[in-house]
């Protein structure tokens, strides 16, 4: 049952992040999405998560984000955090299987923060 899987994964991801970071971070909404262009993926809307947390705990967070994608059957091209512009607040974590049109836009960017509102966790570059 899909909704049961979403509920289970929402709760488990939140629990694991809390244990790791040691603060009551919230995963307020876990969504599967599809866009008109052909991109699809997962969005986890967060509260209480800071970009510093990603920086410090990245080696521990990466297995958790990989696990979430595998559990929900998503093969993301890119996994990133979206920040509230001009702040260090993480608004959401995003797993996205990029369409052919959107891929170059992400592939062009370099480094951890190709845009001031994006913090890259993983990118599967095409050969």
Q: Enter the DSSP assignment of 89.
A: B
Full DSSP string of 5-53: HHHHHHHHHHHHHHHHHSS--EEEEEEEEE-TTS-EEEEEEEES-BHHH
Please tell me whether residue 107 binds Zn ion under the rule CB under 5 A.
Answer: no
Distance in Å, CB of 41 to Zn ion, minimum: 10
For Zn ion, which residue of 28, 37, 70, 84 counts as binding (CB under 5 A)?
37
CA angle 34, 35, 39 (to 5 degrees): 80
Of 25, 27, 30, 39, the residue at the interface with Zn ion (CB under 5 A) is 39
Interface map 1-30 toward Zn ion (x if CB under 5 A): ------------------------------
Q: Which residue has the tokens 């592939």?
A: 107
Tokens of 30: 């876990």
102 is an interface residue for Zn ion by CB under 5 A: yes
Which CB, 27 or 41, lies closer to Zn ion? 41
Min separation Cβ 15 and Zn ion, Å: 32
Residues near Zn ion, by CB under 5 A: 37, 39, 99, 102
């Amino acid at each position: 049952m899909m909704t049961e899987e979403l509920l289970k994964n929402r709760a488990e991801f939140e629990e694991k992040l809390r244990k790791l970071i040691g603060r009551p971070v919230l995963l307020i909404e876990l969504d599967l999405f599809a866009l008109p262009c052909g991109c699809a993926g997962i969005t986890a809307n967060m509260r209480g998560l800071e970009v510093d947390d990603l920086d410090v705990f990245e080696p521990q967070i990466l297995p958790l984000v990989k696990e979430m994608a595998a559990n929900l059957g998503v093969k993301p091209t890119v996994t990133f955090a979206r920040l509230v512009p001009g702040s260090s607040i993480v608004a959401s974590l995003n797993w996205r299987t990029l369409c052919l049109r959107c891929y170059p836009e992400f592939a062009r960017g370099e480094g951890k923060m190709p845009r001031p509102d994006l913090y890259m966790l993983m990118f599967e570059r095409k050969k």
